[in-house]
């Protein structure tokens, strides 16, 4: 069987499934849509939240050397001056002299020739990717502020607050999830490159000299996280940035790339940023951001290791990874073989009839289960169609309530992947699901 990730039409199938089943819609769709902005529908938000929760659990909850933060999107302009974003967060923009197409010079095969019409392109000019806006009622230079292009800077400027309130000692990290905004020149590939997106970033502060060990630690941790959630290792690879591509302050950087339908592309970047950020903020703000080493009685500015993951790219990768088409009788069964931890619903309750007494009993089971698992209820159309609908959105288990249930107090539990069906007592639904799901 051909590897589904080399199927060029996979992206179209996923975009269509996402729209049809309420995972992802285009922003402002009834007005014709807004470029590269997307809305997560009822199922998409469940998937996205589950992915974010898994990250938070692995990075913050299960470790005692990482704490969380939720900093504001709008920050002082001085933050972006110190971080280098005002002067340097730009991409080389080229424009076609004939068709007026705009491209990122480093994204096209030849920076002089238009990939659309073959005409001559302008010389590249640096285009700052930050969205500019104004704070307060006056739209002048003094009121300029930016929508954050990354969540990381909110962490650096709170470093001192967190150290003083938690008394954490190096090595320790601060984690944050949240929206970031970039006025990208070239967009596309669905939610891969958006202008508004979400990041999950960890800044892990370490003693200089131990940084390469910690860099390796985070490469391993992040790789294993994707594998644990169901990624095929053959669809993942590290790409170490060559020295000449590194930002001047970064010691090294490796991306975790996923084999998306459009080819290998970055899903997460892991960088050793040295002490650049804290040094910059210390210099610009005048506030000392160094820490005291009890062992050597010395002060130093910590180095930082940054695993920075895109939520939307993660969602897209897990959708691609889990999408399966299986021949079934004269038809094709579409299944999202998502890890149940990521599935929008863990269980669907399907009464064989809409009528009493099945309806009341099914609703009672549904109402009890909902308190424990994210669950859904479907009583429309044939049971075969209902199984298909749940397969397509990745629900790992279906519970069918039939006429025998009234007598024997048993329901049928159907497994998404094997399609195997077993009868279990109503009283054991919850414990059976816990055992099968493993949580
Ligand atoms: P690219 O080279 O693809 O533009 P980047 O190297 O600029 O990405 P980083 O600044 O390292 O990206 O951001 C960290 C992570 O944030 C990326 O690995 C990606 O998952 C996510 N990300 C960055 N830009 C976007 C975007 N425009 N849309 C969706 N996710 C993004």
Residue 2 has pLDDT above 80, yes or no: no
The string of pLDDT tens digits covering residues 114-167 is: 999 999 999 998 889 999 999 999 898 889 999 999 999 999 999 999 999 999
Q: How far apart are CA 51 and CA 317, in angstroms?
A: 11
Q: Which pLDDT band holds residue 4 (cuts at 50, 70, 90)?
A: low
**β strands within 235-382, DSSP E:** 236-240, 252-260, 263-272, 291-293, 298-300, 303-310, 323-328, 331-336, 347-351, 375-377
Q: Is 302 left (phi over 0), alpha (psi -120 to 50) or beta?
A: beta
207 domain residue, yes or no = yes
Q: Which atom of ligand 1 is nearest to the CA of 310?
A: 20
Residue nearest (by alpha carbon) to ligand 1 atom 26? 193
Name residue 145's beta-bridge partners. Answer: 133
Ligand 1 pocket (Cβ < 6 Å) reads 182, 184, 193-194, 197, 199, 266-269, 308-310, 312-313
413 and 372 assigned to the same domain = yes
Q: How far is the CA of 61 from the centre of ligand 1 (A)?
A: 25
Ligand 1 pocket test: pick from 193, 258, 309, 316 the residue with the most ligand atoms within 8 Å of its Cβ.
193
173 and 47 assigned to the same domain = yes
Residue 402 has pLDDT above 90, yes or no: yes
416 and 290 assigned to the same domain = no
Q: How far apart are CA 249 and CA 155, in angstroms?
A: 18
233 neighbors 222 (Cβ within 8 angstroms)? no
355 and 273 assigned to the same domain = no
Among 319, 335, 353, the domain-final residue is 319
309 and 352 assigned to the same domain = no
Task: Name every residue whose Cβ is closer than 8 Å to that of residue 178 and which is 6 or more positions away in sequence.
Answer: 70, 71, 73, 151, 154, 198, 199
Residue 199 has pLDDT above 70, yes or no: yes
Q: How far apart are CA 238 and CA 224, in angstroms?
A: 12
Structural domains in the chain (count): 2
246 and 314 assigned to the same domain = yes
Residue 275 has pLDDT above 60, yes or no: yes
Q: Is 373 helix (H, G, I), strand (E, B) or coil?
A: coil
226 and 368 assigned to the same domain = no
Name residue 400's beta-bridge partners. Answer: 350, 412
Question: Which of 259, 368, 272, 286 is CA-nearest to residue 7?
Answer: 259
Sign, CA dihedral 62-67-71-75, equals negative
Residue 249 has pLDDT above 90, yes or no: no
Q: How far is the CA of 348 from the centre of ligand 1 (A)?
A: 35
Residue 59 has pLDDT above 80, yes or no: yes
Name residue 239's beta-bridge partners. Answer: 255
25 domain residue, yes or no = yes
Q: How far is the CA of 310 from the centre of ligand 1 (A)?
A: 6
Residue 3 has pLDDT above 90, yes or no: no
Residue 49 has pLDDT above 60, yes or no: yes
Q: How far is the CA of 109 from the centre of ligand 1 (A)?
A: 21
| Residue 409 belongs to domain spanning | 345-437
Write down the pLDDT at residue 330. Answer: 78
Q: Which atom of ligand 1 is nearest to the CA of 265?
A: 3
Ligand 1 pocket test: pick from 107, 310, 311, 317 the residue with the most ligand atoms within 8 Å of its Cβ.
310
- Which tokens in the block code for residue 308? 């920075």
19 domain residue, yes or no = yes
CATH number of the domain residue 356 falls in: 3.40.50.800
CATH number of the domain residue 235 falls in: 3.30.930.10
Query: 87-96, 354-363, 410-419 — which is least confidently predicted?
Result: 87-96
Q: Which atom of ligand 1 is nearest to the CA of 271?
A: 11
407 domain residue, yes or no = yes
CA dihedral (275, 278, 284, 287) in degrees, to 10, reads: -130
96 domain residue, yes or no = no
Q: Is 368 helix (H, G, I), strand (E, B) or coil?
A: helix
SS3 assignment for 63-120: CCCEEEECCCCECCHHHHHHHCHHHHCEEEEEEECCCCCEEEHHHCCCCCECCCCCCE
294 and 366 assigned to the same domain = no
20 domain residue, yes or no = yes
421 and 277 assigned to the same domain = no
195 domain residue, yes or no = yes
376 and 251 assigned to the same domain = no
Looking at residue 233, what DSSP letter applies?
Answer: G
Q: How far is the CA of 313 from the centre of ligand 1 (A)?
A: 9
Task: For residue 103, report the phi and psi dihedrals to the nearest 5 degrees.
Answer: -140, 160
Sort strands 172-181 and 66-69 into parallel, antiparallel or unpaired. parallel
Angle between helices 358-370 and 429-437 (to 10 degrees): 50
Q: How far is the CA of 269 from the centre of ligand 1 (A)?
A: 8
Looking at residue 346, what DSSP letter applies?
Answer: S
Q: How far is the CA of 198 from the centre of ligand 1 (A)?
A: 10
**Residue percentage of the chain with pLDDT more than 90:** 87
Write down the pLDDT at residue 5. Answer: 62
Name residue 95's beta-bridge partners. Answer: 102
Write down the pLDDT at residue 1. Answer: 40
399 and 433 assigned to the same domain = yes
Residue nearest (by alpha carbon) to ligand 1 atom 13? 308
Residue nearest (by alpha carbon) to ligand 1 atom 29? 193
Q: How far is CA 257 from CA 6, 314, 380, in A?
A: 15, 11, 41
Residue nearest (by alpha carbon) to ligand 1 atom 10? 150
The string of pLDDT tens digits covering residues 301-333 is: 999 999 999 999 999 999 999 999 999 887 899
Write down the pLDDT at residue 247. Answer: 82
Place of tokens 């969540």: 151
Residue 377 has pLDDT above 80, yes or no: yes
Ligand 1 pocket test: pick from 149, 266, 271, 314 the residue with the most ligand atoms within 8 Å of its Cβ.
266
**CB atoms < 10 A from the CB of 215, how many?**
23
SS3 assignment for 140-175: CHHHEEEECCCCHHHHHCCHHHHHHHHCCCCCEEEE
Residue nearest (by alpha carbon) to ligand 1 atom 3? 266
Residue nearest (by alpha carbon) to ligand 1 atom 30? 310
Residue nearest (by alpha carbon) to ligand 1 atom 2? 266
Q: How far is the CA of 377 from the centre of ligand 1 (A)?
A: 37
Q: How far apart are CA 306 and CA 274, in angstroms?
A: 10
- Across the chain, mean pLDDT equals 95
More confident residue, 90 or 203: 203
125 domain residue, yes or no = no
């Amino acid at each position: 069987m051909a590897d589904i990730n080399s199927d060029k039409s996979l992206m179209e199938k996923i975009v269509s499934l996402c729209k049809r089943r309420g995972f992802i819609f285009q922003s402002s769709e009834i007005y014709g849509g807004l470029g590269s902005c997307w809305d997560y529908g009822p199922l998409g938000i469940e998937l996205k939240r589950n992915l974010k929760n898994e990250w938070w659990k692995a990075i913050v909850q299960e470790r005692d050397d990482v704490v969380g933060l939720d900093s504001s999107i709008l920050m002082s302009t001085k933050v972006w001056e110190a971080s280098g974003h005002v002067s340097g967060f730009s991409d080389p923009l080229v424009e076609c002299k004939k068709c007026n197409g705009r491209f990122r010079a480093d994204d096209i095969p030849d920076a002089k020739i238009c990939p659309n019409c073959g005409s001559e392109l302008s010389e590249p000019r640096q285009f700052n990717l930050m969205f500019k806006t104004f704070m307060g009622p006056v739209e002048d230079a003094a009121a300029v502020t930016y929508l954050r292009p990354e969540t990381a800077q909110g962490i650096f400027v709170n470093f001192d607050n967190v150290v003083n309130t938690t008394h954490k000692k190096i090595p320790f990290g601060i984690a944050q999830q949240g929206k970031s905004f970039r006025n990208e020149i070239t967009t596309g590939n669905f939610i891969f490159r958006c202008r508004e997106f979400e990041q999950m970033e960890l800044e892990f502060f370490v003693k200089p000299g131990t940084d390469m060990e910690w860099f390796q630690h985070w490469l391993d941790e992040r790789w294993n996280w994707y594998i644990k959630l169901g990624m095929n290792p053959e669809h993942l690879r590290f790409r170490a940035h060559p020295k000449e591509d590194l930002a001047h302050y970064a010691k090294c950087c490796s991306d975790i790339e996923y084999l998306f339908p459009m080819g290998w592309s970055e899903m997460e970047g892991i960088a050793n940023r040295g002490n650049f950020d804290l040094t910059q903020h210390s210099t610009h703000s005048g506030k000392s951001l160094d820490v005291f080493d009890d062992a050597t009685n010395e002060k130093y500015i910590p180095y930082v290791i940054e695993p920075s993951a895109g939520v939307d790219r993660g969602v897209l990768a897990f959708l691609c990874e889990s999408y399966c088409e299986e021949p079934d009788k004269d038809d094709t069964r579409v299944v999202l073989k998502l890890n149940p931890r990521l599935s929008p619903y863990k269980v669907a309750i399907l009464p064989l009839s809409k009528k009493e007494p099945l309806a009341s009993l099914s609703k009672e089971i549904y109402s009890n289960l909902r308190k424990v698992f994210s669950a859904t209820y479907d009583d429309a159309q044939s049971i075969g169609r209902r199984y298909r609908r749940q397969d397509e959105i990745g629900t790992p288990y279906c519970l069918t309530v039939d006429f025998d249930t009234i007598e024997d107090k048993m329901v049928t539990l159907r497994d998404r992947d094997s399609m195997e069906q077993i009868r279990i007592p109503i009283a054991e639904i919850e414990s059976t699901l816990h055992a099968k799901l493993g949580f």
